[in-house]
Amino acid sequence: MADLVGEYRHKLDAKGRLSLPSDFRKALSKHLMVTISPKGECLYVFEPEGFSAWVSSLFEKDGGFKSSSSKHVAQRKLLNSRVKPVELDNSGRLGISASQREAALLDKEVVLVGDTDHFEVWDAKRWDDFCATVDLDSLFED
């Protein structure tokens, strides 16, 4: 699979359609999974296998504990309920449902952010605010 990187500022049209950067389009298949990020601040877009792998990875941290506990069953159910399969149209756009747009507060101006195995869709202003909170300088201090 791909290695998605970069930030792209695109527009969501009146019908909720979002055209992907051509780099993303080349790296991904036409079948994608869109889900609300766990904290609800943006949307994640995966390929189907990537989504499954991501969910699984969330449950492997507790040292191999299998998903039998009722807490994990509920978490898994919620994660699965929030994902929606979508297909790209003939112009390479994906339709984002009204409920998902609302959940991530997406307006017209959005930012697509590559993050290795998936990309994220942010409201432009929200993304700018997020960037402002990240302190890169501390990486270079001694």
Partner DNA sequence: TTGCGAAGTGGGACAAAGTGGGATAAAATA
Partner DNA sequence: TATTTTATCCCACTTTGTCCCACTTCGCAA
Residues that bind DNA (CB under 7 A): 8-11, 13-16, 19-22, 25, 87, 89-93, 95, 97-98
Query: Which residue among 1, 2, 7, 126 contacts a second copy (CB under 8 A)?
Result: 7
In 3D space, the residue among 99, 114, 125, 107 whose CA is nearest the CA of residue 20 turns out to be: 114
Query: Which residue among 49, 74, 125, 128 contacts a second copy (CB under 8 A)?
Result: 74
Q: Which residue has the tokens 């601040």?
A: 41
77/108 with CB nearer DNA: 108
In 3D space, the residue among 125, 46, 49, 124 whose CA is nearest the CA of residue 86 turns out to be: 46
Q: CB of residue 74 vs a second copy: minimum separation in angstroms?
A: 5
End-to-end Cα, the chain, rounded Å: 37
Q: How many residues bind a second copy (CB under 8 A)?
A: 36
- In the chain, which residue ranges form alpha helices assigned H by DSSP? 22-27, 48-59, 70-81, 98-103, 124-133
d(CA 88, CA 17): 10
Query: Residue 93's binding partner, choosing from a second copy, DNA, none, with beta-carbon cut-off 5 to 8 A by kind?
Result: DNA
Residues at the contact surface with a second copy, assessed by CB under 8 A: 5-7, 9, 23, 38-39, 58-59, 61, 71, 74-75, 77-85, 99, 113-116, 130-131, 133-137, 139-140
